[in-house]
Amino acid sequence: MDNLFTILPDLVGTFAFAISGIKLASGKQVDWLGAYIIGLATAIGGGTIRDLLLGVTPFWMLDSRYFITTGVALLATLLFKEKLFRWKNTLFLFDTIGLGLVTIVGITKSLDANFPIWVCIVMGAITGSVGGVIRDILLNEVPLLLQKDIYALACIAGGVVYFVCHYFEITTVLTELIAAAVVMIVRILAIQFHIHLPVLKSIQSLSNK
């Protein structure tokens, strides 16, 4: 029987990531089908890469709910666009929610497959961040993962907290809630207080000094 943290975070994360992809696509003059494809790629891209690396059938090939959830996200966007996107940080909000939830899904699926801790953390980061990379590439944007924003590091922080909680034998549901919250909080605090990694300066600019 599916438990809380195999279905709910997966579908809510799918919805949130799909909304973020559709929101970004809305400014690129794409049609409804294009927006759906961008939303779907955002939602399932990271999990697809994860499953391929883990050597299992990609999850969306076994369950149509991800396609349906993305369709619901597109429909919600079309029906409630004015209210949904009135707040300028809507894209950031949905992207952050999706990031936290699907990161934990990636960790738990890797852990269930008996991979070591470090692999689970990496797979969590891949699950959380690669969908956004695919979205940005399709829309000709510089991927957030490659910018100075704290993105993949937030996933890694959540993964570390997950296994700290696991070590202290905190219940599974609470562990996953705490770890997902950490991913979101780290991402929000990094943006709020302009925390980021140093930018790599070009060799040319260094040689001109």
Rg of the chain over Cα atoms, rounded to whole angstroms, equals: 17
Encode pLDDT of 73-115 as tens digits: 999 999 988 777 676 677 788 999 999 999 999 999 999 999 9
Q: What is the mean pLDDT of residues 183-189?
A: 96
The pLDDT score that the predictor gives to residue 182 is 98
Instruction: Identify whether the C-beta of residue 143 lies closer than 8 Å to the C-beta of residue 137.
Output: yes
The arithmetic mean of pLDDT across residues 110-137, rounded, is: 95
Residue 36 lies in a domain: yes
What is the pLDDT at residue 127? Answer: 96
In a domain, 204, yes or no: no
Q: pLDDT category, 1, cuts 50, 70, 90? A: very low
Distance (Å, whole) CA 185 – CA 182: 5
Domain-embedded: residue 63: yes
What's the pTM value of the predicted model, to 2 decimals? Answer: 0.89
Rounded Cα–Cα distance for residues 58 and 12 (Å): 18
Would 205 be classed as within a structural domain? no
Domain contains 27: yes
Average pLDDT over the chain, rounded to whole?
Answer: 89
Residue 133 forms part of a structural domain: yes
Model confidence at 201, in pLDDT bands (50, 70, 90)?
A: confident
In a domain, 202, yes or no: no
Per the structure, the complete domain to which residue 80 belongs is given by 4-194
Say how many domains are in the chain.
Answer: 1
